[in-house]
Amino acid sequence: MTGTPGTPDPTPSDLNSHRSASPLHDLMYGHIHASALRAIVLHGIPDLLADGPLTAEDLAARSGTQAGPLRRVMRLLAMRGLFREAQDGTFALTGSGEVLRADVPGSQRAAVLLFTGEMFRRSADGLTGTLRTGQTGFDAAYAVPFFDHLGTEPDESRLFDTAMSSLTSGVNEQITRSYPFPDSGTVVDVAGGRGGLLREILTRFPGLRGVLFDRPETVAGHLLDTEELKGRWETEGGDIFAAVPRGGDVYLLKNILHDWPDEDCLRILTTVRRAMDAGTRLLVIDAVLPGDGTPHPAVALDIVMLMTLQGRERRAAEFEDLLTRSGFRLNRVLPTPALTSVIEAEAV
């Protein structure tokens, strides 16, 4: 097809004049990009490119896919900076695309599969109803709360735990470099998942001991069993709304309070406060939204909370209110190079 009758055909420079899609188009096509990314990851395409560029035909033969459709999907993701398409028809991974491989440190494969999977797609589809009723899209779709559902779906629970660990692998180092942990004592990581942050802390501060506390099925897959940390940690399974381990010198709540509405945050904080002596420090590690409406990447995460958990991202004043009402005094908020900040509080 050529241009409009009576007008010249476009020149090559004209053809390249539409490179930048409008923000509106990016939003409209967002689900298409997510589906393309999921398809590429599920077929193992990034792993096939680990040793260098390949053509769509080579990739298709090795992955059991069709070269034509594969080339078109790869071309779309190349526009998003995950792959590089060369003039000879080969595709290569970019630095951004490397983390899609399953076998690299910091792999984001599990995170991609989690957030492009059925649970989050159905939750996002329910946002229209959420605006009308306040009910999360997840609750409307599954008729049970998010974590109750994970408790009955072992495969999805493992994917969730793996994705959370991968998303925070580099963040944990940034946190330990941003906060002055003591040289000795016991750190209790409350709802600490598989223990990635606790492992980073104990590795960096060899005089500390640690307790990892979370759901029994989660701590069973912990990451603490290394020679370097031998004899310096223990795990305990339980319910953060019932009781947490006593006797710690520093308590951690990393990416926990944002999962819950205010009334549940108060229950969690009150439970943690019961386990602490006066003067003991609590570190709440969460994103802190600016109070003046300045754009912040955690605003998107706030929508994830809205559609799945009835949780939310909060401003510093909102954290201070929760802490004060549950027996703590806010000392300071320390930013980190990551999305999260360290909110230091003290039991009073």
Q: Is 118 within 8 Å of 78 (Cβ atoms)?
A: no
Q: Which of 18, 31, 258, 296 is catalytic?
A: 258
Q: Where are the alpha helices (DSSP H) in 29-153?
A: 30-42, 45-48, 56-63, 67-79, 109-115, 118-125, 127-133, 137-142, 146-152
Active site residue 222: no
Number of residues that make up the chain:
348
Q: Could you give the 3-state DSSP secondary structure of residue 251?
A: strand
Convert 187-222 to b/e letters by CB count within 10 Å (16 or more is b).
Answer: bbbbbbbbbbbbbbbbbebeebbbbbbbbeebbeeb
Q: End-to-end distance of the chain based on CA atoms, in angstroms? A: 75
Closest by CA to 212, choosing from 229, 231, 184, 187, is 187
Q: Which is nearest to 103 in space by CA: 155, 50, 64, 39?
A: 50
Spatial separation of the C-alpha atoms in residues 198 and 204, rounded to whole Å: 10
Per the DSSP assignment, residues forming a β-bridge with 337 are: none
Token pair, residue 132, equals 């009308």
Encode burial over 276-288: b for 16+ CB neighbours within 10 A, e otherwise.
beeebbbbbbbbb
Pull the structure tokens for residue 310.
Answer: 């009835």
| DSSP result, 7-43 | SPPPPHHHHGGG-S--HHHHHHTHHHHHHHHHHHHHT
Active site residues per annotation: 258
